Amino acid sequence: MALHISKQVRQLGEQAQAELREQFARIDAIAQENTQRVLEAFQDHRVADAYFAGTTGYGYDDLGRDKLDEIYAQIFGTEAALVRIQFVNGTHAIASALYGCLKAGDVLVSAVGAPYDTMLGVIGVVDKGHGSLKDYGVEYRQVELLDNKPDLEGMAKAAADPRVKAVLIQRSKGYATRASLSVAEIGEMCKVIKAANPN
């Protein structure tokens, strides 16, 4: 079956592709660089076919899972990583991290006002049933925005309390009216927080 596309439409398509050539080249360069980083991580961690084999039992010492964690940590430049298909959404992953690093008597600070509504139940700001961080003795505080921007001075003051063990920075605005945070803004916030509380 022949396609009935006019010559004018074909010419417009070719013109659009020509005008976007630089953008496509930039995207291709980024993809190539990221592919190289992934392949280097696989080589650095000496990934072999044994890492892809199934396991039996409870999965203790699953070499493939442990290796995947190491590869992700290298690619993203982090101290460690936890990569699991069992994390069903972002709230689940963030909650797991918070439950893992906070204990009774610790303080969690949200640096840019209230987090997503789903996190409010995890923290215990709203009652979503038993099992929130509040139920386990973790105190919560938040630093409100100042003129719809992060309050760096307020953040430093809140983080200075030695009981503060974690600071939550939500990049996305979610349902709030503020702008989403840039990577540079988050970097500046981290510097301020770390200066106020190196731990």
pTM over 0.95: no
pLDDT per residue as tens, the chain (199 positions): 677 889 999 999 999 999 999 999 999 999 999 999 999 999 999 999 888 877 776 667 788 888 999 999 999 999 999 998 889 998 999 999 999 999 999 999 999 999 988 899 999 998 888 899 999 999 999 999 998 889 999 999 999 999 999 999 999 887 778 889 999 999 999 999 999 999 8
Could you tell me which CATH class the domain 90-196 is placed in? alpha beta
> Of all residues in the chain, what percent are helix, strand and coil, respectively (each to 5)?
50, 10, 45
Break the chain into its structural domains and give their ranges: 8-76, 90-196
